[in-house]
Amino acid sequence: MESKKIVVIGGSAAGAKAAAKARRLDEFAEITLVQKAPDLSMASCGYPYYVGGVFDDRNLLLCTPTGVPRDPAFFDKAKAIKALVETEVMTIDRKEKKVVCRNVKTGDEQTISYDKLIISTGAKPNMPPIPGIDLDGITNLQSMADTDYLRHICDEKKIKQAVIIGGGLIGVETCEALRLAGLEVTVVEALDQVLTFLDWDLAHLVENHIQSKGVQVLTSNGVKNFIGKDGKLTGVELADGTVINCELAVMAIGVRPNSDLARTAGLATGKFGGITVNQYMQTSDPDIYAAGDCVEIPSIMSGEPVFAPMGDLANLEGRVAGENVINGNCVTFPGTSHTGICKIFDFAAGSTGLSTKAAERMGLTDYQTVVNASPDKPGFMGAKILVSKMLVSTRDQRILGYQCVGAGDVSKQIATAAMAVKGKLTVEDLINIDLPYAPSFSLAIDHFIASAHIMQNKLKGRMTGISAVEVWKKRENGEQPYFLDGRSPGEYEEMQLGIGEHLIPIGALRSRLDELPADKNAEIICFCKVSLRGYEAELVLRAHGYTNVKVMEGGIMAWPYPRKK
């Protein structure tokens, strides 16, 4: 039997994984990896950390864990894969089943036949035609070349001011990197929040944290014009007319699928421009598979195709494609549940499943949300506050989504929630779930379980929640409910919302009911630092005949607006 010819276009995450998986399943296949860039299997998610000086050894981005460069020699020897770098595939001849490649340096062309082809051409950064965008000093953080450029700037310490255009994942990670390297940084975001996988309130807590690190964050604003002198960037003019001086601008307004080659070859693409694949990662041509940031995959939440350019998914998709090109369509990729996480200075922010915004976009109405602010572990073990939002279906009480931000262990929270979404677990399932507890790792009742408890209290009608956003809107509309802050005088001295709240410590509430509005139907909104005492206050007031009592969910810790102190 003649050996199978596998060609893989693109040697970053999905492509390298697909080629390696194919090799493991067929020692005698002829596997060729064609990569336009000079490097292979780059740890591209690590670029910002190298730029920011979290580590200094550039090789760590390009080597195996034992220090071997993942270069063509490594692919040849360890994987028996022929890797052609700095080589671009110009055309795919689907009829003849071959690809025409050109060396980007020498211009030499060669033709490679395939039995099965895998396209993993990745994504490319969006670069809108803003005047001045070609000025020297404007870059992305998408390639090793970009990384080297930015790292050089950070090392050289000549450039003082940078603007990041876009407050998404790459934008905030780049913001942290440049700030850690000592630059003055402004983030400009066209939407009304950073990190659009979060709801506005949680995203705003992240923005507050970023600003606490001396970074300026400007939302609902865009770049009208890049200003330059002698071909070099000197500033940006924003949509609202503001001019920010800067010598460096990083464009981070998202990426789009790099699917031109596939489209030119006549392969079907979807509404986000990604290559259309079935569950086997197979394109509209049965002999061509695709994986990674160039494809669209199903959302497990909506069933609709989405563009989800994430490094973990790229690897998993590549693994599926690599197996199917060898063994026929035998394994499937189920899609994404929209799980993501990022680190931003001392905070992390993550999400899985649906945010409120995503649920609204899907037209869902039968869901309930709850915000929980509470520590990740006991105070004596160095607790950090987490703020989470859980979203459940009111139809069957299934967990639809979970977001979490804060300085604590967000990663465990999101992993736990992602499993709950995958396992189609209900609030009832989570109420008494047996999670790992020891003081070094969690509270006796883990933050995630506590979120389920609060949700249960809401669903059972024991707690009437109101979000900080709704409270803010009430006040903007001129309403002034009776705000009851249930903390101690000492806590109140240290930190205050300043929304006309009345301080009645929970321990004094039962004996000070006469201070409350005489009208038992008056709206009373209770809170405390995290609104556990706020909830207790609600229960006390309800029991004493107050009919319109609410708890401001998450209390002061989830308040995304300025405080009096």
Q: Are strands 109-113 and 98-103 parallel, antiparallel or unpaired?
A: antiparallel
| Shortest reach from residue 414's CB to its own copies, in Å | 4
Contact predicate 104/86, CB 8 Å:
yes
Residues 431-450, interacting with its own copies (CB under 8 A): 431-442, 444-446, 448-449
Subset of 276-305 contacting its own copies (CB under 8 A): 300
Residue list 90-119, contact with its own copies (CB under 8 A): none
Residues 474-513 that bind its own copies (CB under 8 A): 487-488, 491, 506-508, 510
Shortest distance (Å) from residue 234 CB to its own copies: 34
- The three-state secondary structure class of 112 is strand
Find the binder of its own copies among 3, 57, 90, 110 (CB under 8 A).
Answer: 57
CA atoms of 1 and 296, how far apart (whole Å): 35
Task: Please say which residue, 101 or 414, places its beta carbon nearer to its own copies.
Answer: 414
Q: Three-class SS of residue 287?
A: coil
State yes or no: residue 529 binds its own copies (CB under 8 A): yes
269 sits near its own copies (criterion: CB under 8 A): no
Total chain residues near its own copies (CB under 8 A): 101
Give which of 332, 336, 47 is closest to 170, Cα–Cα: 47
Binders of its own copies among residues 387 to 416 (CB under 8 A) are: 409, 411-412, 414-416
- Tokens representing residue 479 in the block: 């309403």
CA 553 to chain centre: 24
> Of these, 274, 375, 406, 554, which contacts its own copies (CB under 8 A)?
375
Which amino acid type is present at position 166?
G
Query: 179 to each of 54, 210, 245, how far by Cα in Å?
Result: 12, 10, 16
Give the pairing type, strands 305-306 and 295-298: antiparallel
φ/ψ of 225, rounded to 5, equals: -165, 130
H or E element in which residue 33 lies: strand 30-34
Residue 446 and residue 418: Cα distance in Å, rounded? 16
Stretch that binds its own copies, among 42-50, 92-100, 157-165, 388-396 (CB under 8 A): 42-50
Is 266 or 334 the residue whose CB approaches its own copies more closely?
334
281: left (phi over 0), alpha (psi -120 to 50) or beta: left
- Residue 372 touching its own copies (CB under 8 A): no
Q: Name residues contacting its own copies, limited to 326-365 (CB under 8 A).
A: 331, 333-334, 336-343, 348, 350, 352
Site stretch for its own copies (CB under 8 A), options 75-83, 144-152, 250-258, 388-396: 75-83
CB of 446 to its own copies, least distance (A): 7
Q: In the complex, what is the shortest distance from the CB of residue 139 to its own copies, in angstroms, rounded to a whole number?
A: 21
Region binding its own copies by CB under 8 A among candidate stretches 81-89, 134-142, 251-259, 420-428 = 420-428
To its own copies, the closest distance from the beta carbon of 438 in angstroms equals 5
CA 357 to CA 364: how far, in whole Å? 10
CB of 106 to its own copies, least distance (A): 27
Q: Does 170 bind its own copies (CB under 8 A)?
A: no
Among 380, 461, 478, 565, binds its own copies (CB under 8 A): 380
Q: How far apart are CA 283 and CA 276, in angstroms?
A: 6
Answer for the pair 368, 391: CB distance below 8 angstroms, yes or no: yes
Q: Which of 65, 231, 241, 303 binds its own copies (CB under 8 A)?
A: 65
Is residue 64 within 8 Å of 70, Cβ to Cβ? Answer: yes
